[in-house]
Amino acid sequence: MYTEQDIQTIVSAQRKFFRTGVTLPVSWRIEQLKKLKAAVIAHADEFTAALAEDLGRSEVEAYLCDVGPIIVEINEMLSGLRRWARPERHFSGWMCFPSLITKVYKMPYGVSLVISPFNFPILLTIGVVAAAMCGGNTVVIKSSSKSAACTAVLKKFFAEVFPPEYVTLIDGGHDVADMCLAQRFDKIFYTGSPAVGKHVLSEAAKNLTPVALELGGETGNWCVVRADADLKDAARKIAFFKLTNAGQICININQIAVAEEVAEVFIEELKKAFVKQIGEHAETNPEYPKLITDAAYDKCAKLADEYRERIVFGGAGVKATRKYAPTIIYPVDINEHIVQHELFCPLLPVVPYKDAEVDNLMDVIADREHPLAMYLFTKNIRWANRVMQTQQFGGGCINEVCVHMMVKGVPFNGTGHSGMGAYHGEWGFREFTHPQTVLKGSTRFNLPLREHPYGGEAGKKKMALLRLFEK
């Protein structure tokens, strides 16, 4: 068990290490990222085994969703870091004459705290740590106690690869997390629920520490299937996504709104897609992931029982293995409580609406808390583009699911109840650095323009020059 003094000692050691300036050279950061990448590849089997123990992930899903994306992310950093870190050079403007050159340096914040979640414990720990390292920071990690096997592997992993004054992992429960938050960090990155996000932000405010929050969204992510959509294609993609990690994904589909004109046909296609991909009894399929804890399983099963009469597919589980089948609930009114909070499980409520009234549907969604993701299935691309440019959410897809996460060079995160800040690639570098503006002054040709007197003839001349310079 950690004490407050233990954590304070860790933070102090990292602050002392950061102030040596060792982390500042880009060449040094690149070497550390290379070391991190090599270690991830070398420990891939350990990560896969830990993900199987905690979440029941198959080897393919573990690599697809956790291990592989880390390697891709680090590769992007290695290829772009020198360019991203290069100071920007700006013309200072005639108002600053004779000081004509200003530079913007991308400085690391310093000692960072990364609080990672249970659902993608490898990706959302190492991926964020890589961004912090890319920016030149030291890192203290507080990993989830729910994914105990992954936390144990990660603690051993970081201890082998980096000295604790540079990167170190702290395990434990919420009490340990609060002890971490009580310390003065220079940057905090939290991934998890909006409720805990509020707590993190409140604690960070005591030290005015800048915070990035990657949250799931209070009222969940919507998928809208219009009457003109390719229903078989939509069903196939939605089924794949809902099966992934048994629905325990911050960008997963929380509920589907389907045009009532095609709702019955769509649901039949969705059933077929689930059966084709996982079989008729997902809860007994060894490839199907499990819910993270008994409490998570019980919460899912209890909610399913509440809607038992409207379950049209699934609705079965095995508590001993914590596996609950993908479950379609239909019909569900848009104002029912099941579609007004994040589910984070395999339940999939389906809300029918009239296709001609789709804009009214989007207004209702817009009135709720901003989701982390939005998915639209339709042949009306003009309408879809308009929605994507007017709704507020983290990111999304038209006629696709989740793969926007795999695109290089673009940011990821939400807004409001789905997060603040952004990361991935260069955006992660930006999130963990502060732009510092530095003007290079001149000791020659300085004019008395800014100096008193401001009245009389001198003032008139200065006003004339000021107006000239402002053009």
DSSP bridge pairs for 444: none
Closest CA to 97 of 437, 448, 436, 438: 448
Residue with tokens 């990672």: 116
Helix (H, G, I), strand (E, B) or coil at 400: coil
d(CA 92, CA 441): 10
User: Known catalytic residue: 451?
Assistant: no
E strand or H helix that includes residue 317: strand 317-318
E strand or H helix that includes residue 324: strand 323-324
Contact between 289 and 246 under an 8 Å Cβ cutoff? The reply is yes
- Where does 43-173 have alpha helices with state H? 44-55, 59-62, 68-85, 123-134, 148-161
Among candidate residues 61, 165, 203, 214, the one labeled active-site is 214
**What is the Cα 19 distance to its own chain's centre?**
29
d(CA 197, CA 312): 35
Q: Are strands 255-259 and 347-353 parallel, antiparallel or unpaired?
A: parallel
Q: Are strands 327-329 and 311-313 parallel, antiparallel or unpaired?
A: antiparallel
Contact between 176 and 2 under an 8 Å Cβ cutoff? The reply is yes
Residue with tokens 């600053």: 96
Among candidate residues 134, 250, 345, 402, the one labeled active-site is 250
| SS3 per residue for 213-278 | EEECCCCCCEEEECCCCCHHHHHHHHHHHHHHHHHCCCCCCCEEEEECCCHHHHHHHHHHHHHHHH
User: Known catalytic residue: 180?
Assistant: no
DSSP bridge pairs for 327: 347
Residue with tokens 């003094």: 5
Start-to-end CA distance of the chain, whole Å, equals 64
Peptide bond into 98 cis (omega under 30): yes
d(CA 154, CA 344): 24
Report the catalytic residues.
Answer: 214, 250
